[in-house]
Amino acid sequence: MILHIDMDAFFAAIEQRDNLSLRNKPIIVAGNSKRSVVATASYEARKFGIHSAMPVFQAKQRCPEIFIVPGNRHKYAAESQKIMNIISGFSPLMEQVSIDEAYVDIRGCEKLFGPPEEMAQKIKAAIFKAVSLTCSIGIAPVKFLAKIASDMDKPNGITLIPQDKMDTFIATLPIAKVPGVGKQAMKLMETLKIVTLGDIHKHDPDLLNKKLGKMGNRLYELSQGIDIAQVENNHTRKSISSETTLDQDICDINSARQVLLSLAQRVGRDLRKKKWACRIVSIKIKFSDFTQITRSKKIEPWIYSSAAIFNEALSLYEQVVLKKKIRLLGVGVSHFREKNAPIQMELLSAPGEQQKKQWESVDMAVDSIMEKFGSDMVKKASLATPTRKKPK
């Protein structure tokens, strides 16, 4: 059996835990910009139909008395680490898949912690004792069903799908509940008259592959209760990225340069915290009409400095022919290796090895200051808001 542990309204729950005045109130964790979107909504807010990724202005329309709390990703990451340490103590096969969820393969753990439901209760109790937060747990013979089960009795629930009930569950499971089936796929499902996951295996596999591509073969296997995905305790992130929705649409290079520099700093800091270097840099651009593009490039040297990431991101941006204004920019990196391995840094303004080392030292010093005093303590001069001189 596999457990999927999913924290309940994680960011919002942390804020309510730490601020008594927010408890039992509808709150969202989001930015203050009119274009910000909801990162997490408390369960009190969800009663108004508010959900993650909803624009903040819509959340305000649905609930005028909503409390908007700015996020604190460093605090959330610290709480996540505590939770994952607890979960890993119950089984050596634990796979963290996001900041607030993880899979656990509990084979061989019954003698120590009891049957699956009892073990789930112990995990919930241990997490609550340590961080005063609740979670919901799904239990099933395969990963994808465990994930679906964890969402069925939220918040603070446990849902078990036993082996002998799995076929019945699959036969009646709405196809829209299957991970990976989005809006575009649902249009094809309607055309094929597929309502439940069980309807999938009524169709010819070749037809499904023709209509749905690789997803067709996967859905056909899932409809028969087959999920080859295993819990991997050596799971590593495939990418690190940061993006921001702009307060106003932009089209000039100077504004874009500032945003890209800020994003590159965030990504570089996360990269160095993992002690990784990267070889692929990418950017994401969403235009004023909500269409979007991505661009990426593989670079010859392994890099980990914010300056190098920014240079590559800016180079990608300058190659895009802009015909519309931009409402969102993002920077990402991928293809990782350990930073301690021999690395040649690529800085357009730093051809000498000594200067490369100086840039690395600056990055590490800035990371240390931000970790201790907060991310707003140090800024690039070009990102600082200029102060006006007082008139004499």
Q: Give the CA distances from residue 49 to residues 37, 46, 103, 161, in Å, rounded to whole numbers and listed in that order.
A: 14, 5, 28, 28
State the burial class of residue 58 (Cβ atoms within 10 Å of its Cβ: 0-12, 13-18, 19+).
Answer: middle
Q: Which residues pair with 364 in a beta bridge?
A: none
Q: Give the CA distances from residue 52 to residues 59, 78, 79, 242, in Å, rounded to whole numbers and listed in that order.
A: 10, 21, 20, 17
Q: Which of 15, 44, 79, 101 is flagged as catalytic?
A: 101
Residue 96 contacts residue 82 (beta carbons within 8 Å): no
Side-chain half-sphere CA neighbours of 23 within 13 A: 7
Angle formed by the axes of helices 214-223 and 205-212, nearest 10°:
140
Q: Give the CA distances from residue 181 to residues 20, 107, 345, 391, in Å, rounded to whole numbers and listed in that order.
A: 39, 29, 41, 61
Residue 133 contacts residue 261 (beta carbons within 8 Å): no
Q: How many CB atoms lie within 10 A of CB 361?
A: 10
Angle at 230 between CA 222 and CA 282, to 5 degrees: 90
Q: Is 101 known to be catalytic?
A: yes
> One-letter amino acid identity for 128?
F
> One-letter amino acid identity for 87?
I
- In the sheet that holds 67-69, the strands lie side by side as 40-41, 27-29, 67-69
What is the C-alpha radius of gyration for the chain, rounded to an integer number of angstroms?
A: 24
Residue 369 contacts residue 303 (beta carbons within 8 Å): no
Residue 10 contacts residue 133 (beta carbons within 8 Å): yes
Of 167, 166, 189, whose CA–CA distance to 176 is shortest?
189
The residues that are catalytic are 101
